Amino acid sequence: MSPLRSALSLFAHRLVHLLPRDDSLWVFGSRGGERFEGNAKYLFLQLRDESGVRPVWISKSEGVVRELRAHGFDAYRADSLRGRVAMLRAGVVFVTGTMTDMALWPTGGASLIQLWHGVPLKRIAADAPSFENFPIRERLRLLYTYRQFDAIALTAAKLSDSFRSAFRIDPDLPVTGYPRNDALVREIPGERIGQEYAVLDDIDAESLLAYLPTYREGDSDPAANVDFERLDAFLGEHDAAMFVKFHPFNDPGIDGDRFDRLSFLPPEFDVYPALREIDALVTDYSSIYFDFLLLDRPVAFYAYDRESYEKNPGFALDYDAVTPGPVTETFDELLRALDGIFTEPDTYADDRERARRLAFDHPDDRSTERVREYVRVRFGV
């Protein structure tokens, strides 16, 4: 963003504080405004029939808007007149990132609630090493943005200091849990909107696993560190199947047709409803494994680049203390760890329980209810 645009955006953000707000109008955005997913998605879906609340989805994607409208939801493009009016009139705004979900300037004067997108295993926001590499103008812009958050939803009170440090603010920190985790326990009406779940229906195996590596900056490539031919054969020996989903920014676009036991999911695939069917998870540093612990099923960690990841972005928590499963650094070690999960899935049950207590004060499917109650009490809506 140019200096002139930044100045105009800041001026507009302060100016719109003068506009009246409709406390019953709540707007939502997620994934840079491009996709219908995350905590905002599951809160939005479950508020559809909420008395006294009008939820509106804001998106930069015409496809997302069209799909939601086809299912009877209110949704507008972020750059449309109706979208801008909704943001200018909304009493409550929900986002899942650092205001890339929608423009900041129309939200001035609204109650801005940051739902975020994971337990902070790694350093985030202003605590991340990359923050210091930003130009000073960008750092100041981000710090101004952070100060607009009236509340940040947490999964556990003991994580409060991590978020205060990361955003350099002291907002409300309600321990509500994440609405997306409601979908781990039960089906949420509308959860399949815009999704192709037929790939899961076609799987015929005794066990179903998932490999979900996290985002990486630089040249580290999760796909380059997996021998998919060997993995496919290994899964066949155990009458198992696996779906693989890379982070959208690291997706290598592998053609999965040559494999019998591996299914490669597109970047826009929402894995949370699918996790209900998963018997074991393989990841590295993705905080999705904390969510998966709510199901009390095995997790294996493939940390082939741990040494470099510890430097950038680095860990906010002690990685060894919060990884309740085998931590492997080579592909051979990973296969041995998976073999152990097939034969003794409860080996790390006690460790899973300890990590779950660390990450969640409410290990249930009522996070949306707590968010709703928090807004009612805090803002009188």
* Three-state SS letters, 287-325: CHHHHHHHHCCCEEEECCCHHHHHHCCCECCCHHHCCCC
| Spatial CA neighbour of 12 closest among 76, 79, 88 | 88
340's tokens = 């152990």
Residue 230, in any domain of the structure? yes
Domain containing 257: what range?
A: 198-359
The tally of CA atoms less than 13 A away on the side-chain side of residue 243 is 22
Per-residue pLDDT of the chain (381 residues; tens, 9 = 90+): 677 788 888 899 999 999 999 999 999 999 888 999 999 999 999 999 898 999 999 999 999 999 999 999 999 999 999 999 999 999 999 999 888 889 999 999 999 999 999 999 999 999 999 999 999 999 999 999 999 999 999 999 999 999 999 999 999 999 999 999 999 999 999 999 988 776 777 788 999 999 999 988 777 788 899 999 999 999 999 999 999 999 877 777 787 788 999 999 988 899 999 999 999 999 999 999 999 999 999 999 999 999 999 999 999 999 999 999 999 999 999 999 999 999 999 999 999 999 999 999 999 999 999 999 999 999 888
Say if residue 55 is in the same domain as residue 168: yes
Whether residue 14 lies inside any domain: the answer is yes
Q: What is the DSSP letter of 329?
A: S
Q: Are 154 and 10 members of one domain? A: yes
* 175 and 248 inside one domain: no
351: its two tokens: 């460790």
* Number of independent structural domains in the chain: 2
Report if residue 369 sits inside a domain. Answer: yes
Contact 232, 256 (CB under 8 A): no
> By the 8 A CB rule, do 267 and 234 touch?
no
**Could you give the strand order of the β-sheet that contains 280-283, starting from the edge strand earlier in sequence?**
262-264, 240-244, 207-211, 280-283, 299-302, 327-328
Considering the domain architecture, whether residues 373 and 349 belong to the same structural domain is answered as no
Which DSSP letter does residue 175 get?
B
Q: What is the CA radius of gyration of the chain?
A: 21
The span from the CA of 175 to the CA of 170, in Å, is: 15
CATH number at residue 115: 3.40.50.11820
Token reading at 20: 């009246």
- Predicted TM-score (pTM) of the model is 0.95
Q: C-alpha angle with apex 373: 20 to 190, nearest 5 degrees?
A: 90
CA distances to 63, 287, 320 from 253, in Å:
21, 23, 31
Specify whether 181 is located in the same domain as 244: no
What pLDDT does residue 261 have?
A: 95
- In the chain, the amino acid numbered 78 is A
- Looking at the fold, whether 305 and 347 belong to one and the same domain comes out as yes
Query: Phi and psi dihedrals of 294, rounded to 5?
Result: -65, -20
Please check whether residues 164 and 203 belong to one and the same domain.
no
Question: Does 191 fall in a domain?
Answer: no
* 166/118 same-domain check: yes
Q: What CATH number corresponds to the domain at position 292? A: 3.40.50.12580
Residues 114 and 135 in one domain: yes
C-alpha angle 377-52-100 in degrees, rounded to nearest 5: 75
Are 41 and 71 found together in one domain?
yes
Tell me, yes or no, whether 32 lies in a domain: yes
d(CA 31, CA 40): 10
Task: Determine the pLDDT at residue 225.
Answer: 94
286 part of a folded domain: yes
Query: Are residues 234 and 174 both part of a single domain?
Result: no
Residue type, 340: G
CB atoms near residue 146 (< 10 Å): 19
Within a domain: residue 192?
Answer: no
Please report whether residue 193 resides in a domain.
no
Whether 12 and 29 map to the same domain: the answer is yes
